[in-house]
Each structure stands twice: as structure tokens, then as C-alpha cells.
Amino acid sequence: MEALMSGAIARASACHLQQHSHSLLRPCLPSLTIKLHRSSFEMITNSRLMNAVASSIQPLEASTAEQYDNMSPSKEVLDMWRTADAVCFDVDSTVCIDEGIDELAEFCGVGKAVEEWTSRAMDGSVTFQEALAARLSLINPSLAQLQDFLEKRPPRISPGMAELVKKLKAKSTVVYLVSGGFRQMINPVASILEIPLRNIFANQLLFGDSGEFSGFDKNEPTSRSGGKAIAVQQIRKARGYKTLVMIGDGATDLEARQPGGADSFICYGGVQLREAVAGKADWLILNFEDLINSLD
């Protein structure tokens, strides 16, 4: 974590060199590694900030409970959660309270248009790759803009997430971050939660020699619809996990629950409650306290 918090930016070309020999379980080095200052991380742990975040996303649990019959897990689902030897978390609107690409878009002055595409992608009304390409075309971020964004907008971790990850790790449960977002923006999140960078499976922003935006790595499975499911399947196959659980808020997270992939899908609706996804979940939660307490 000290290494991540000190220094500036290191470039690497591993993604370009490995495009034809890409292995999902040997994720390539980011084309840039953002080094954040300690003060940025201290902002995340500020108690007043976290209290404000927690109060801003408090759901109407009583009214939601009337709509859904999956807010109390079955014995089978609860047993899978308690005995899982691996848990894969979505990042945007799950591990973090924001949609990272929306935050970057707002920072670059095109927030409204990009937010609409994000909503359509998460609801499953357009393909993920279509929405990803459209959003990045609108944002068109330079390397300098991305660096500036990460320095000024440190990650905002969802209430209870740090405690949940700590508790899972104490049980020897391996934690992964599987996201349609970008490695450059997820590396700081992983470092805050002390999740190994090798356990990140996400997309990669690409930049030219002059720092101009040149696209994203289309070889990453998470860059297309069904990509999270492929990532989870390959994680499980390579590591031989007996029980694996996926936690997220979107349609792409729900897709990970399939043979050879996640055994169960837990929908986190504490930030965004997407009806089409929540109703199909094995377990719908509105705060991470439910998961933390169920591990006792």
C-alpha cells in the first residue's frame, strides 16, 4: 500500500505486448499505475465523510421488503454464503458508492450524457460493449485528466465494505474484484481494502505516447456482455473453488450465476436498486451488515 501511495505515474506496455497471449488469470500490468498521496486515503477514512455517505444512501427497507420475497435467504443460499471459499465483488455501486465512469465523465464535463448510457447498460437494455464504447467516446479522457481525477476524487468505499472484506479474509475466503470499470481506477480501491492487485479483473484504458486517449483493451473479457461470467468461470476453474458467490447490483453481475461460475448471486441494492436484477437474485440485501452478521 505504501508503494501505491507514494510516487507519480509509471507507464508499462504489457497490455499491448500480451494482446495475443492474454490469460485471464494473469492480468496484465496497467498501462499506468496511479500513485495516490496518503492524504487522499485519509479522506476515505474520515468518520464525518463516512457518516455522511452512510446516511445519504439509506434505503427504505420496510417498503422494499414488501416488494421482494428474497430479502431473507433460504438455508441453502445462507449455507453457500457461509462456506464460500471465494467471493467476487462488483465495484461500482457495490464496493464503492459511485459509478466510476460516471464520476470521471462528470469530472470531464460530460456527466449527464454518460450517466444515461450507464443506466441503460446496468439495466441490460443495451449491450455492455455498446455502452462502454459510447461512454468512452463521449469522455475521451487524456492521461493527464485521468491522473488529475484520481488525485482529486479518491474512492468512496461503501459503508461496511471494509469490515466485510476483513471478516471474509479472516475466514480464509479469497476476495476478488470483478468489474466492467477500469484497472487504473480500481487499483486504489483494492489497496484500501488490502486486496491483492492480481485479484482484480477489469478493463484497461489505453493511451498514446503523448497521453492521448486511444481506446480500451478489447481482449479483456469484462469489456463485453457476458464478460463477468467468463471471468468468474475461469477464476473458479483455475483455482478449483468449491463454492463461489457473486455480489453486485447490475445485470452483468447476475449473469455470473451460471454453471461453472457463481453458485449464487447476492444483489446489493444499497446504492442502486435495479428491479430487474433484484427480483432475480438469490438474496437481496440493502446494507452489508446483513452479510457481516450472517458470518458469525
Mean pLDDT of the chain: 83
Distances (CA, A) of 295 to 83, 155, 161, 250, 292: 9, 26, 14, 24, 6
Confidence of residue 42 (pLDDT cuts 50, 70, 90): very low
What is the grid cell recorded at 95? 464496493
pLDDT at res. 62: 56
Task: Report how far Cα 77 is from the mean position of its chain's Cα atoms.
Answer: 22
Provide the whole-model pTM. Answer: 0.80
CA 39, 41, 47: angle at the middle one, nearest 5?
100
pLDDT at res. 63: 65
User: Quick one: average pLDDT of 161-166?
Assistant: 98
User: Quick one: average pLDDT of 270-275?
Assistant: 93
What is the set of active-site residues?
90, 92
Distance from C-alpha of 90 to C-alpha of 181, rounded to nearest angstrom: 9
- Side-chain-side CA neighbours of 230 within 13 Å: the count stands at 13
